[in-house]
Amino acid sequence: MTIRPLADRVLVKIEEVQEKTASGIYIPQTAQEKTQIGTVIAVGEGTDKVKVTVKVGDRVMHDKFSGTSVKADGQEYLILSMKDILAIIE
Amino acid sequence: MTIRPLADRVLVKIEEVQEKTASGIYIPQTAQEKTQIGTVIAVGEGTDKVKVTVKVGDRVMHDKFSGTSVKADGQEYLILSMKDILAIIE
Amino acid sequence: MTIRPLADRVLVKIEEVQEKTASGIYIPQTAQEKTQIGTVIAVGEGTDKVKVTVKVGDRVMHDKFSGTSVKADGQEYLILSMKDILAIIE
Amino acid sequence: MTIRPLADRVLVKIEEVQEKTASGIYIPQTAQEKTQIGTVIAVGEGTDKVKVTVKVGDRVMHDKFSGTSVKADGQEYLILSMKDILAIIE
Amino acid sequence: MTIRPLADRVLVKIEEVQEKTASGIYIPQTAQEKTQIGTVIAVGEGTDKVKVTVKVGDRVMHDKFSGTSVKADGQEYLILSMKDILAIIE
Amino acid sequence: MTIRPLADRVLVKIEEVQEKTASGIYIPQTAQEKTQIGTVIAVGEGTDKVKVTVKVGDRVMHDKFSGTSVKADGQEYLILSMKDILAIIE
Amino acid sequence: MTIRPLADRVLVKIEEVQEKTASGIYIPQTAQEKTQIGTVIAVGEGTDKVKVTVKVGDRVMHDKFSGTSVKADGQEYLILSMKDILAIIE
């Protein structure tokens, strides 16, 4: 069973807070932070106006208070629009 | 007798709440949830700006508080615009 | 004497509330309902942006609180824009 | 001396309230009514976006609270935009 | 020295209130009036979206509360956008 | 060192208030005035939608409360968008 | 590890306040100032509507209260949209 996002939407699995990444960059996800990091699970086909420029597996940074949360298999997901995704974390 | 939605609208039959699907994904539809699942009964022809990218029989996830509810034959339906439909559930 | 709607507007004659249609579908028009059913009496020519996709004689479902009401020959009419018409009832 | 409306504007002479027209249609213009009837005196040339689809001499129904009123020769006129004109009365 | 309006703007010299014009049309400019009459002194070149359809010397009727007033040589001028000009008075 | 404005922005050096210009036009810049005069110091390249139609050295009249002020070398500058510039003073 | 901004976004490293630059221009960054200066670290690919016209290494002036702040390696970054960037400082 799959959640297939429509239009310019993207399904994202929210990452657990991590203190420090392997490479040393530290992107805290505390309550004060406005951004959150997640992994792209599925993407929509885009629209004439908005292309989907992230792909499955990308780690993305998004505005913490954007999107619609859905729960599936005990895991929390977010359905985000492309405009809510600020950057890809590589 | 048929309700034939116009433009980018879609007629959806709201699903009864189900605790767990056959394949194990659990998408609760409690009062706290912001989304709801329904089955597409009829679709409009789309507009120049917005294509209808769901088809009759699709199970769709939509924002719980969007659309206009209509009752017919004791069943509650929703008339949704494409922009209110977040994802297809497969 | 005729009321000829302009642009994407449609002149609609509001139906009396009916408990049950011949084919058994029941679309109540009580105070709680958000939609209403009417019959199209005249249509505008549409605009570059919005086509008129209903025709004279169509029964249409529209948002109850949209449009501008006009009275003529003791009958209440509504002038609706295409965007206010949700569906055709067949 | 002439008032020549610009763009998609139309100069309208407001009709006196009439209880019943010759052909029997009754369109009251009481305080409760939201619409008013006037006769087109002059029209603008339209714009790229909005065509003027009424002509001098047309009787038009418009939203009562739209437009800008001007007085000339003791007669009250309205300068309306095309979007404020709902229908032509024939 | 010249004030040369930019884009779709027009420089207008506001007329003194006049009780009655030569041809007999009376367009009062009292405090209750919403419109005002002025003479076009200079015009901008227009934009891709909005053409300037008045020319120097035209008497124009505009919304009284629109535009930006500037004083020069003891005379009050207005810089108006085309959208604020309702009609040409001929 | 240069401040190079982006898009349809223009860098303007605000003029000291002057009672009367050489040619006799008087454009006061008192607290009551809504406009201000400045000299264009640098211009952006424009965008697809908005062209920059002023050039370095032009004296421009702009809305007093628009733009973002920056200080450099003890001189106050403004970064304005083209839409905030009403006219060129020649 | 890299933060790669999407669409018309730009990653900026905020500069420490500096009293005076080598060339003598003084752009204070006090609490009263509305603008801030930063160095571009990474840029998005732009969109059909908005091109990214700054490049990595550019010093840019931006509205102080725009963008989304992120912290990485103890350094504060901002993710800005092109519209928030007023000028390039050369």
Residue B64's closest chain A neighbor by CA? A68
| pLDDT at residue F44 greater than cutoff 80 | yes
D61 falls within a domain: no
CB burial string B36-72: b at 16+ within 10 A, e below? bbbebbbbbeebeebebbbeeebbbbbbbeebbebeb
Q: How many CB pairs lie under 8 A apart between chains B and C?
A: 55
Does residue A52 sit at the B interface (CB-CB below 8 Å)?
Answer: no
> What subunits touch chain B, counting only 3 or more CB pairs under 8 A?
A, C
Tens digit of each residue's pLDDT (9 = 90 or more) over B18-42: 555 556 665 555 545 789 999 999 9
Which residues of chain C lie closer than 8 angstroms to D49, CB-CB? 48
E1 falls within a domain: no
| pLDDT at residue A60 greater than cutoff 70 | yes
- How many angstroms separate the CA atoms of A64 and A85, rounded? 10
How many angstroms separate the CA of residue E3 from the nearest CA in chain F?
A: 5
Using CB atoms, pick whichever of E24, E63, E87 lies closest to residue D4: E87
Residue C6's closest chain D neighbor by CA? D87
Does residue G22 sit at the A interface (CB-CB below 8 Å)?
Answer: no
- How many angstroms separate the CA atoms of F30 and F36, rounded? 9
Which residues of chain G lie closer than 8 angstroms to A89, CB-CB? 1-4
* Subunit contact B9:C86, Cβ cutoff 8 A: yes
| pLDDT at residue A40 greater than cutoff 80 | yes
The enclosing domain of E57 has a CATH number of 2.30.33.40
pLDDT score for C18: 54
Confidence band for C20, pLDDT divided at 50, 70 and 90: low
HSE on the CB side for G60, CA within 13 Å? Answer: 30
| pLDDT at residue D19 greater than cutoff 70 | no
A2 falls within a domain: no
| pLDDT at residue B73 greater than cutoff 70 | yes
A55 falls within a domain: yes
Does residue B32 sit at the C interface (CB-CB below 8 Å)?
Answer: no
- How many angstroms separate the CA atoms of F87 and F84, rounded? 9
CA distances to C40, E40, E59, F56 from F87, rounded to whole Å, are 51, 15, 21, 14
Backbone region of residue F46 per phi and psi (left: phi > 0; alpha: psi in -120 to 50; beta: other values): left
Q: Which domain holds residue G85?
A: 9-17+29-89
* Domains: count for chain C: 1
* Subunit contact A90:G7, Cβ cutoff 8 A: no
Higher pLDDT, F54 or F33: F54
* Subunit contact A45:B23, Cβ cutoff 8 A: no
pLDDT score for A24: 60
Main-chain phi, psi angles of A13, to 5 degrees? -100, 120
Confidence band for C57, pLDDT divided at 50, 70 and 90: very high
Question: Within chain E, which residues score under 50 in pLDDT?
Answer: 31
F53 falls within a domain: yes
Contact C50, B6 (CB under 8 A): no
- How many angstroms separate the CA atoms of E23 and G77, rounded? 70
pLDDT score for E78: 95
Which of D11, D68, D69, D77 should one mutate to test binding to chain E, selecting the residue with the greatest count of E CBs within 10 A?
D68
What value does the mean pLDDT of chain C take?
86
Measure the N-to-C terminal CA separation of chain G; round to a whole number of Å. Answer: 29
Does residue B48 sit at the A interface (CB-CB below 8 Å)?
Answer: no
| pLDDT at residue C24 greater than cutoff 80 | no
pLDDT score for F25: 61
ipTM field: 0.81
**E26: CB partners within 8 A, 6+ apart:** D71, D72, D73, D74, E19, E20
User: What one-letter code names the amino acid at E53?
Assistant: T
Selection from C29, C33, C40, C46 nearest residue C85 by Cα: C40
How many angstroms separate the CA of residue F25 from the nearest CA in chain G?
A: 33
Does residue C11 sit at the D interface (CB-CB below 8 Å)?
Answer: yes
- How many angstroms separate the CA atoms of E34 and G49, rounded? 39
Residue G88's closest chain F neighbor by CA? F4
A84 falls within a domain: yes
The string of DSSP codes covering E47-69 is -SS------TT-EEEEETT-SEE
User: What one-letter code names the amino acid at G59?
Assistant: R
Which residues of chain D lie closer than 8 angstroms to C70, CB-CB? 27, 35, 61
- How many angstroms separate the CA atoms of A54 and A84, rounded? 12
Mean pLDDT across F15-29: 58
- How many angstroms separate the CA atoms of G50 and E80, rounded? 29
What value does the mean pLDDT of chain D take?
86
The string of DSSP codes covering B13-67 is EEPPP-S--TTS------TT-SEEEEEEEEE----SS------TT-EEEEETT-S
Higher pLDDT, A14 or D72: A14
C80 falls within a domain: yes
| Burial class of residue B24, CB neighbours in 10 A (0-12, 13-18, 19+) | exposed
* Subunit contact C53:B5, Cβ cutoff 8 A: no
E22 falls within a domain: no
In Å, the largest CA–CA distance within chain E is 39
Selection from G52, G49, G39 nearest residue G78 by Cα: G39
